[in-house]
Each structure stands twice: as C-alpha cells, then as structure tokens.
Amino acid sequence: MSILLHDLAAANPDLRFSPYCWRTKLALKHKGLDYETVPHRFTDRAAIAKSGQSKVPVMVDDGHMVHDSWAIALYLDETYPDRPLLMPDAAARVQARFINSWCDWSVIPNTRQLAVPNVFKLIAEEDKAYFRASREKALGPLEQVGSDRAAAMKTFVQSLKPAEVTLADQAFLHGVKPGYGDFAFFGTLLWPYMVCVEDPIDRESAVGHWFERMMALHGGWVAKAPTARSP
C-alpha cells in the first residue's frame, strides 16, 4: 500500500503551496518512496481529525497517521532505514534541525507579507473566511498585508541572507550534497514561489543558483507543478 499525503491545495486542486507539505514531498522523493497526495483544504478538518490536530502535512503509512513535517522526516528515516537517509548521522541531524527552525521562525515570518495576500486570492471559496480570520489576527487587515510589494520583497530577501552567504561558498546548505536542511529551506521558498504573481526568487543570487539546483533534482519534478503563474 502506497503512502498517502494530505497536501494543502488551492481552489485549483493541483496548485500546492504549503511549505511544510513541500518539505514532506521532498523527503519522500529523497527516500524514493511512492506516495499519493490528497488535495486538502484548510476547512477539511474531518479528513485529518484522527491525527488529533488540524494542520497538514498529515501522512498515512500502512495505517499509521503521522503529522508535522519534522516528525514525518524522523519517522521516515526510522521506518525506512535502508532507503537513502534524510539525516545520515548526528551532525546532519543537528544541522537539519537548526535550518528547519530557522525556516520556521525567521524565513516564514518574513515571507508572510509576500505570500499571504496571494494565498488568499488562490484558495477555495469555502476556505476564505477561516483564512482571513486567522491571518488577520496576526497581520491585520488582509487588504493591507503586502500592499507595499517593494518592502515585502526587501524583508523577504533580507531574511534569506544567512543562506545567501553560506551558498556563496558551497553548493548546498549541507555542503556538497543536499540534506534535509536543504529540503526544509527549498520547501519554504516553494511557498512564495508557488503563489506569487511574479516569481520572487532572484536567479542571479547564490540562493537563486541553489534554487535551480534543487529544482533540477529527480528529473525536475517540482518544475512540473502548476504555480499561480501557470497558463
């Protein structure tokens, strides 16, 4: 039985934009595990209620339900140790853990002005009331979020600086080969990449060059996913 992944989707069920779900899909690809995704809407709580919480990714593997992208990564290495490891040793794990936390607590907050208003435009009608209420609690009126696009871009680009400096020296955040920290960061950037009307990734930057290397993994599968800019 193949793995099932509840994967956040826009009104267009093929448009997938959750940075956390992307981390899990990148992890599954790295491990070479087959999986199917179920397009998930913010308000589809019943579908994942058994996980005991309301957020995706939620993965179902042979009857086990696992949630939270970091917990899923640990689960995959533990359950499938003979497949390529996401964190082959303690050093890779601490590096991945730090980068994962940096993405969650520094990059994502600094990407909200850019991504959130675009997410709102793309999601299904039934999700809009929930999304507005939850995001406005943190960010104020949605119509004002990201209204100064230049400022939003500046904040976003500035938050990438630790990776920009690191990737000027080395091919991947983990060194010569991508590790789970690269998947966490790439998944994070796929959020604004998928939803923005203009591609927000500067391809002339070190992060941009790395982004292209990440895009090219596994036969360029991510590039085949539809974005807000797809015809």
Pick the closer one to a second copy by CB: 48 or 160.
160
Peptide bond into 162 cis (omega under 30): no
Nearest-5° angle of CA 34, CA 62, CA 127? 75
Contact set for a second copy, span 85-104 (CB under 8 A): 89-95, 97-99, 101-102, 104
> What is the smallest separation between the CB atom of 33 and a second copy, expressed in angstroms?
25
3-state helix, strand, coil in the chain (%, to 5): 60, 10, 30
Which is nearer to a second copy, 90 or 150 (by Cβ)? Answer: 90
| CA 100/CA 181 separation, integer angstroms | 6
Beta strand pairing status for 3-8 and 35-40?
Answer: parallel
The least CB distance from residue 100 to a second copy, in Å, is 8
**Which of 26/163 has CB closer to a second copy?**
163
Closer Cβ to a second copy, 164 or 199, answer by number:
164
* Span interacting with a second copy, options 8-16, 47-55, 122-130, 169-177, rule CB under 8 A: 169-177
Buried b (16+ CB within 10 A) or exposed e, 143-161: eebbeeeeebbebbbebbe
Among 3, 152, 153, 163, binds a second copy (CB under 8 A): 163
Query: Under the criterion CB under 8 A, does residue 205 sit at the interface with a second copy?
Result: no
Residue 51 sits in the site that holds a second copy (CB under 8 A)? no
**What is the rounded distance in angstroms from the CA atom of residue 178 to the CA atom of residue 11?**
32
Residue 74, burial from CB neighbour count under 10 angstroms (0-12, 13-18, 19+): middle
In the complex with a second copy, which residue's Cβ is closer, 58 or 87?
A: 87
Q: What does the binding site for a second copy look like in residue numbers (CB under 8 A)?
A: 89-95, 97-99, 101-102, 104-106, 109, 158-159, 161-166, 169-170, 173-176, 181
